[in-house]
Amino acid sequence: MLQVCLNGGRGPGDAAAVPMTPVAMAEAAAAAVAAGAGDVHVHPKTPCGSDTLSPRVLADTLSAIRAAVDVPVGVSTGAWAEPDPVRRLARVRSWTVLPDRATVNWHEPGAEALAAALLDLGVAVEAVLRADTDGPARFLRSSLAPRVLRAVAEVASESAALPLLAALARSPHARPVLLHGRDAAAWPLLRLARRQGLAARIGLEDTLLLPDGSPARSNARLVSAALAEPAAATVPA
């Protein structure tokens, strides 16, 4: 499975192709799915371009994307959108239109309570496990681990990925894994995911460059390149 991550924390100052409005996100999602993506991950944005957990913005974003594609759509619940765990939980519980899934950063305060609330709402949880935090250890001890849709392993290099993947595989509650990296690690980690038979993701959230180092003009172009990329390809010098 290849997931497209449409925007993340990026904005027009990073690349003109980064979609910021519900209409632009829907157009980007449609093009990426047409190119071969089977899953969409998006960060709903306020009019000023900040990530938000606002029920109204979430509803507008999900409605627009779902009118354009017929694949699962997931959103972020990162603490940068609402740092206070209590208020973040209240925001999520106030959603009127629900995503198919939501990422929960397991190293953030209040992660387990947030994951439990999402599951109670019927929203599948993607547990984001950053190798440079205590998130993986906390996740492996969590009673919620067996209930998540998958673990999203976010790492900076192949050498950081292998111990985390091994730990997840040894868990008695092993879940499917999506492996990805950002910026310079995006393409090497996508290749590793393919070699390991894992789900992967690509999109302007993770990288602004194609495998040859040229600028990516769209999420769809990144998806096409990912599907064409040999698993053993090397990074350009």
Quick one: pLDDT at residue 173? 81
Across the chain, what does the average pLDDT equal?
Answer: 94
- The yes-or-no verdict on residue 154 having pLDDT over 50 is yes
**What residues contact residue 2 under an 8 Å CB cut-off, 6+ apart?**
36, 37, 38, 39, 199, 200, 201, 202, 223, 226, 227
Instruction: Categorize the per-residue pLDDT at 233 as very low, low, confident or very high, splitting at 50, 70 and 90.
Output: low
Q: What is the CATH number of the domain that holds 74?
A: 3.20.20.70
Residue 137: half-sphere exposure toward Cβ, Cα within 13 Å: 3
Mean pLDDT of 37-64: 96
Dihedral over Cα of 223, 225, 185, 172: its sign: positive
**What residues contact residue 145 under an 8 Å CB cut-off, 6+ apart?**
127, 139, 171, 173, 175
Domain count, the chain: 1
Q: Please check whether residue 234 lies inside any domain of the structure.
A: no
How many Cβ atoms from other residues are within 10 Å of residue 166's Cβ?
A: 9
Instruction: Categorize the per-residue pLDDT at 167 as very low, low, confident or very high, splitting at 50, 70 and 90.
Output: very high
Residue recorded with tokens 């993506």: 37
Structure tokens belonging to residue 235:
């990074």
Mean pLDDT of 179-190: 96
DSSP string covering 46-96: -TTS-B---HHHHHHHHHHHHHH--S-EEEE--TTT---HHHHHHHHHT-S
Q: Please check whether residue 30 lies inside any domain of the structure.
A: yes
Give the tens place of pLDDT for each residue, 82-126.
Answer: 999 999 999 999 999 999 999 999 999 999 999 999 999 999 999
Q: Please check whether residue 41 lies inside any domain of the structure.
A: yes
- The yes-or-no verdict on residue 237 having pLDDT over 80 is no
Quick one: pLDDT at residue 80? 95
Phi/psi for 200 (5° steps) reads: -140, 170
Instruction: Categorize the per-residue pLDDT at 187 as very low, low, confident or very high, splitting at 50, 70 and 90.
Output: very high
Q: Please check whether residue 104 lies inside any domain of the structure.
A: yes
- DSSP β-ladder status, 150-154 and 124-130: parallel
Q: Please check whether residue 195 lies inside any domain of the structure.
A: yes
Structure tokens belonging to residue 217:
């003009």
CA distances from 81 to 16, 53, 69, 216, 235 (A): 22, 6, 25, 26, 33
Instruction: Categorize the per-residue pLDDT at 57 as very low, low, confident or very high, splitting at 50, 70 and 90.
Output: very high
Quick one: pLDDT at residue 232? 66
Mean pLDDT of 74-83: 96
Residue recorded with tokens 């632009």: 24
Instruction: Categorize the per-residue pLDDT at 235 as very low, low, confident or very high, splitting at 50, 70 and 90.
Output: very low
Q: Please check whether residue 235 lies inside any domain of the structure.
A: no
How many Å apart are CA 90 and CA 182, to the nearest integer? Answer: 30
Quick one: pLDDT at residue 236? 42
List the domain range (segments joined by +) for residue 188: 2-228
Q: Please check whether residue 191 lies inside any domain of the structure.
A: yes
- The yes-or-no verdict on residue 65 having pLDDT over 80 is yes
Mean pLDDT of 59-70: 98
Reading phi first (left if > 0) and then psi (alpha if -120 to 50, else beta), residue 99 is in beta
Q: Please check whether residue 40 lies inside any domain of the structure.
A: yes
Structure tokens belonging to residue 145:
């681990």
